[in-house]
Amino acid sequence: MNESYERLKPYMEKAQALQTAMVLFEWDNETLAPRAAAPYTARMIGAISEEYLRVMTDETARKLAQDCGDGAGMTEAEAAALREFREEMKKLERIPAKEYREYAELTARSAGIWAEARKNRDFGAFAPTLRQVLDYQKRFASYQAEPGQKLYDVMLDSYEKGFDMESLDRFFGQLKTELVPFLRQVMDCGRQPDDAFLEGDYPKEKQEAFAGFLARYVGFDFDRGVMAVSAHPFTTNLHNHDVRITNAYTRRVDDAIFSVIHESGHGIYEQGIPDALTLTPAGQGASMGMHESQSRFFENIIGRSRAFWVPLYGRLQETFPEQLKTVSLDAFVRAVNKARPGLIRIQADELTYSLHIMVRYEVEKLLVEQGMDVRELPEIWAEKYREYLGVCPENDGEGVLQDIHWSQGSFGYFPSYALGSAFGAQMYETMKTQMDVEGLLEQGNPAPIREYLREHVHRYGKMKTSRQILKDMTGKEFDAGCYIRYLKEKYGMLYGI
Amino acid sequence: MNESYERLKPYMEKAQALQTAMVLFEWDNETLAPRAAAPYTARMIGAISEEYLRVMTDETARKLAQDCGDGAGMTEAEAAALREFREEMKKLERIPAKEYREYAELTARSAGIWAEARKNRDFGAFAPTLRQVLDYQKRFASYQAEPGQKLYDVMLDSYEKGFDMESLDRFFGQLKTELVPFLRQVMDCGRQPDDAFLEGDYPKEKQEAFAGFLARYVGFDFDRGVMAVSAHPFTTNLHNHDVRITNAYTRRVDDAIFSVIHESGHGIYEQGIPDALTLTPAGQGASMGMHESQSRFFENIIGRSRAFWVPLYGRLQETFPEQLKTVSLDAFVRAVNKARPGLIRIQADELTYSLHIMVRYEVEKLLVEQGMDVRELPEIWAEKYREYLGVCPENDGEGVLQDIHWSQGSFGYFPSYALGSAFGAQMYETMKTQMDVEGLLEQGNPAPIREYLREHVHRYGKMKTSRQILKDMTGKEFDAGCYIRYLKEKYGMLYGI
């Protein structure tokens, strides 16, 4: 037992409780709260977030965290919790309280301004706000930076420890060299599948019931989780026994199907956090990228595979006989994997997805490191989409205004999506040497796959970084080659090239 | 402006925010949270409730509240908020923190123990816990008591300011003298209506849709509120722009119909609290009794009247043609007003309802003031039910274990239900001299009735006590006579006596 840690615990627990309350307010706001509630509830959330800041910068707590020393007498889980708590403290205590409050007020407004600008396809209406948010983020990064550390590296590290511009330039460089020409090959081969049947009058209730079935099938535990409806699918959690996924239902049946598998991937990760870690600062997924690796692994590597649908496609046909009776399993699998360079990230297929991310990565570098003004965004955005994807937005709504992230100050977040996809492919390569993944899926038995991920990823929470998890699991350092091999093999097969 | 009050505000706001978070956790737990979440979430709620206690007993806040003096320079709303805040502070600071925590832990467990005992119809399994809860409540009341004040009077006053045993003895005395023999007359007249058609295969979805329609019809504002499903109907609110009602759907269609009107009555009250009061300690309904006056006014006086159903019954028949096609409006109205002495309070009709409350009031007096041991409860309960209602429970489940209230320490709460019914009847007597209530309902226009209540009740929040509201609205002191006249007239008419 570590005396100081025991005395620190009530502070950690209070901070956790306040944060959990904020998570619940946010969930409620996205899924249920009445239209007119937001401005009133925001005052309460503001007060709770101020209290959170107060706890995290409390002098006694800071002293106790220091007195814990190097973690002698603590369990591994406690040591991880302490490390995360200290990092969050350090981060917050470097930001002047006044700036923190001003920034909180700014981002409380900015999502609304962004949404309005997007509706009107008018980047100009959002640009001044975005400039302010970016300025704050750069200033905050400068407070965190070690001597000589670049600001964008600080931002990247906060989402994905151990990844900086150097490693990401290499990563995206490989993708660019390999995938941009490969994509052209795929597009030029003239074998685009028909996917028109995926769109139509798919009744919402039936979609929702099937989505619930899929979540349960891949292993989301409804004793420890719920599923609801929101404008855009997301996952959140109060702790490992209360994990919440949402889904949205449109005229495209594949939207709901693959969103729910994606969110279940996130959810299964959080349900796999052990009791010793939950409700501590180490009781979450290792990083954004590692989280995306799980969601995208379930969605794409598993969920869009032919083997996955062998035992399930009949059930899907029975659910929607009008639309799918005459569509074969193979035609369905080809359709849900159709590659098609587009303008919208969240509609992108598996092959083009990381190219959307590459655009954002390069643009963020320009904004943070090259001093590019936000006014130049629409033009540079269009240029890069033309270069990598061969398409060009006709308005800001389908261009630079499509993502909410920057309005919330999340610069450095996007690369995690691409890294996650690559992490997943690397895990898959190893996993296939350990078990017959395809065979299990064909037998309708995804449990061993999920258990393997629980064993090697989920149960560590934040005790390991994503780099450590990958290395311990696959026996080698992060290697983007796996991802490129995986994509080329899969799409080579699908398109017969 | 009052300098001290301005400085007190952040404390009040923080306390309010923590309380709002607890409301949201509770709502979520009753409506959505997954099965296995409770013990983990409870730790977070515990931490937030401790923080609430810390704010409410903060030395600086206490001093500031004192320094506000007699409220000079404050608005009426601020003065009311200050008064409520001071009262809550005073109450909490008199309870030793250790006892408060022990009690919170006890009541966190006690609802589960009660529920289990009720399921097994075994009062003996609950008795030791109930004794502990009662002991704490008596001790806490002794901390609050003014010199010479009786403990049960302290408890009663905390739910209904200005009502004590003396006034309630008189109130229940009148009810006993007038209603017990009148009920016998009604039962003996041999004109019981048929209500068998109210039970049957009423599809849940249709019930829910009709309940939503009714809520909107009586004036519940869905821009500022939501409706969900829970095991037992209830109302809660985050503030005046986020008011939440729930309903439950059974095989008895009248359950859902009158529950939703009841909860809408509570909800409309909270939606009618003005912005100047909401999110302050005075921003709620005046008292438990005043709240019940509104819910029971909507449910019974309005909702169970023939006039209310004149414009609506056709729609109800169309919704459930199988069950109601051949049932006339008059037969329906008689059925939903059927008087029938029973064992279960929440199933009681309007005429017998307050007799259920009377039993509980008399039993609580014995427990708190006469030192009766909880062991004697089942027997005394049975005796009183036999005397007032002519029925006798066959087991503890349908007897003394039916209500959750005591397990939560709510001694002194029950009388509010009966008082609320009586408040509503007194308001109704006055209202009828001001507008043609029946005519408005027959025309399908309940809005002026709701607005009248908003004007005279809702907009005051806690700025007035229930006694003040009644006096200002009706021009006279609380008078149980109105209630007795109302019941006798209504049931006299229905039963032709």
- Residues in chain B with CB shorter than 8 Å from the CB of A17 are 43-48, 51
Domain count, chain A: 2
Query: Do B352 and B410 sit in the same domain of this protein?
Result: yes
The answer to whether the CB atoms of A13 and B47 lie below 8 A apart is yes
- Nearest-Cα distance to chain A for B270, in Å, is 13
At residue B1 the predicted structure's pLDDT band, cuts being 50, 70 and 90, is: confident
The answer to whether the CB atoms of A37 and B279 lie below 8 A apart is no
pLDDT at B247: 96
Mean pLDDT of B464-482: 98
Tens of pLDDT along B433-450?
A: 999 999 999 999 999 999
pLDDT at A34: 95
Q: Which residue in A21, A44, A225 is closest to B16 by CB distance?
A: A44
A148 belongs to a structural domain: no
Closest CA to B332 of B248, B445, B260, B254: B254
Q: Is the pLDDT of residue B108 over 90?
A: no
pLDDT at A104: 87
B157 belongs to a structural domain: no
pLDDT at A1: 84
- Residues in chain A with CB shorter than 8 Å from the CB of B24 are 21, 24-25, 28
Mean pLDDT of A197-225: 98
pLDDT at A322: 97
pLDDT at A253: 98
Mean pLDDT of B186-195: 96
Cβ-Cβ pairs closer than 8 A, A with B, add up to 132
pLDDT at A222: 98
- Nearest-Cα distance to chain B for A24, in Å, is 8
Q: Is the pLDDT of residue B180 over 90?
A: yes
Structure tokens at B265: 């009555």
Inter-residue contact A245 to A431 (CB < 8 Å): no
Q: What is the DSSP letter of B21?
A: H
State the average pLDDT for chain A.
96
Q: What is the CATH number of the domain that holds A362?
A: 1.10.1370.30
Q: Which residue in A18, A32, A35 is closest to B223 by CB distance?
A: A35
Query: Do B74 and B191 sit in the same domain of this protein?
Result: no
Interface of B with A (CB under 8 A): 10, 13-14, 16-18, 20-21, 24-25, 28, 32-37, 39-41, 43-48, 50-51, 222-226, 228, 238-243, 278-279
pLDDT at A163: 97
Query: Do A324 and A380 sit in the same domain of this protein?
Result: yes
Query: Do A173 and A284 sit in the same domain of this protein?
Result: yes
Q: Which residue in A32, A46, A223 is closest to B34 by CB distance?
A: A223
In which domain, by residue range, is A364 found? 165-495
The answer to whether the CB atoms of A34 and B239 lie below 8 A apart is no
- In DSSP notation, B27-82 reads HHHHHT--GGGHHHHHHHHHHHHHHHHHHHT-HHHHHHHHHTTT-TT--HHHHHHH
Percent of chain B, pLDDT > 70?
Answer: 100
Which of the residues B263, B350, B362, B364 is marked catalytic?
A: B263
The answer to whether the CB atoms of B48 and A21 lie below 8 A apart is yes
Q: Which of B122, B140, B155 is the last residue of a domain?
A: B122
Query: Do A385 and A440 sit in the same domain of this protein?
Result: yes
Integer angstrom CA distances of residue A385 from A173, A391, A399, A419, B38:
16, 6, 9, 20, 48
Interface of A with B (CB under 8 A): 10, 13-14, 16-18, 20-21, 24-25, 28, 32-37, 39-41, 43-48, 50-51, 222-226, 228, 238-243, 278-279
Which of the residues A78, A263, A292, A364 is marked catalytic?
A: A263
The answer to whether the CB atoms of A37 and B240 lie below 8 A apart is no
Choose, out of B12, B14, B16, B40, the residue to mutate when testing the contact with A (most A CBs < 10 Å): B40
The answer to whether the CB atoms of A224 and B34 lie below 8 A apart is yes
The answer to whether the CB atoms of B43 and A226 lie below 8 A apart is no
Q: Is the pLDDT of residue A204 over 90?
A: yes
At residue A378 the predicted structure's pLDDT band, cuts being 50, 70 and 90, is: very high
Inter-residue contact A338 to A349 (CB < 8 Å): yes
- Nearest-Cα distance to chain B for A38, in Å, is 8
- Residues in chain B with CB shorter than 8 Å from the CB of A239 are 37, 40-41, 44
Query: Do B377 and B433 sit in the same domain of this protein?
Result: yes
A152 belongs to a structural domain: no
Query: Do B118 and B193 sit in the same domain of this protein?
Result: no
List the Cα angle A311/A312/A315 in 5-degree steps.
125
Query: Tokens 């899926």 label which residue?
Result: A441
Closest CA to B457 of B325, B262, B312, B266: B266
Q: Is the pLDDT of residue A84 over 90?
A: yes
Mean pLDDT of B331-353: 96
Q: Which of A122, A152, A182 is the last residue of a domain?
A: A122
The CB-side HSE value for A351 (13 A sphere, CA atoms) comes to 28
CA B287 to chain centre: 9
Q: Which of B68, B95, B122 is the last residue of a domain?
A: B122
B128 belongs to a structural domain: no
- Taking the C-alpha atoms of residue A282 and residue A286, their distance in angstroms, rounded to an integer, is 8
- Residues in chain A with CB shorter than 8 Å from the CB of B34 are 222-226, 241-243
pLDDT at A451: 98
Query: Do A99 and A169 sit in the same domain of this protein?
Result: no
At residue B109 the predicted structure's pLDDT band, cuts being 50, 70 and 90, is: confident
Specify the range with the lowest mean pLDDT, choosing from A276-280, A397-401, B108-112, B488-492.
B108-112
pLDDT at B101: 84
- Nearest-Cα distance to chain B for A228, in Å, is 9
Structure tokens at A257: 């199907």
Tens of pLDDT along A133-180?
A: 999 999 999 999 999 999 999 999 999 999 999 999 999 999 999 999
Tens of pLDDT along B3-24?
A: 999 999 999 999 999 999 999 9
pLDDT at A77: 96
* Three-state SS at B228: strand
Mean pLDDT of B203-225: 98
Q: Is position A263 annotated as part of the catalytic site?
A: yes
- Residues in chain A with CB shorter than 8 Å from the CB of B19 are none
Mean pLDDT of B371-376: 97
Q: Which residue in B21, B37, B278 is closest to A48 by CB distance?
A: B21
Inter-residue contact B391 to B342 (CB < 8 Å): yes
- Taking the C-alpha atoms of residue B78 and residue B282, their distance in angstroms, rounded to an integer, is 8
Query: Do B97 and B179 sit in the same domain of this protein?
Result: no
Query: Do B451 and B305 sit in the same domain of this protein?
Result: yes
The Cβ of residue A232 has, within 10 Å, a number of other Cβ atoms equal to 11
The CB-side HSE value for A320 (13 A sphere, CA atoms) comes to 27
A435 belongs to a structural domain: yes
- Nearest-Cα distance to chain A for B243, in Å, is 8
A147 belongs to a structural domain: no
Structure tokens at B288: 């438990």
- Taking the C-alpha atoms of residue B49 and residue B101, their distance in angstroms, rounded to an integer, is 9
- Residues in chain A with CB shorter than 8 Å from the CB of B39 are 241
Inter-residue contact B135 to B107 (CB < 8 Å): no
B155 belongs to a structural domain: no
Query: Do B173 and B62 sit in the same domain of this protein?
Result: no
- Residues in chain A with CB shorter than 8 Å from the CB of B13 are 43, 47
Tens of pLDDT along B290-325?
A: 999 999 999 999 999 999 999 999 999 999 999 999
According to the per-residue pLDDT averaged within each range, which of A92-106, B33-47, B139-153 is highest?
B139-153
pLDDT at A109: 86
Q: Report the length, in residues, of chain B.
A: 497
- Taking the C-alpha atoms of residue A425 and residue A209, their distance in angstroms, rounded to an integer, is 30
Percent of chain B, pLDDT > 90?
Answer: 94
Q: Which residue in B20, B223, B228 is closest to A36 by CB distance?
A: B223
Mean pLDDT of B212-220: 98
Q: Report the length, in residues, of chain A.
A: 497
Query: Do A83 and A178 sit in the same domain of this protein?
Result: no
- Taking the C-alpha atoms of residue A396 and residue A467, their distance in angstroms, rounded to an integer, is 36
Q: Is the pLDDT of residue A105 over 90?
A: no
The answer to whether the CB atoms of A40 and B241 lie below 8 A apart is yes
Chain A residue at shortest CA distance from B43: A17
At residue B141 the predicted structure's pLDDT band, cuts being 50, 70 and 90, is: very high
- Taking the C-alpha atoms of residue B37 and residue B202, their distance in angstroms, rounded to an integer, is 32
- Nearest-Cα distance to chain B for A338, in Å, is 37
b/e burial code for range A148-165 (CB count within 10 A of at least 16 → b): eebbbbbbbbbbbbebbb
The answer to whether the CB atoms of B14 and A239 lie below 8 A apart is no
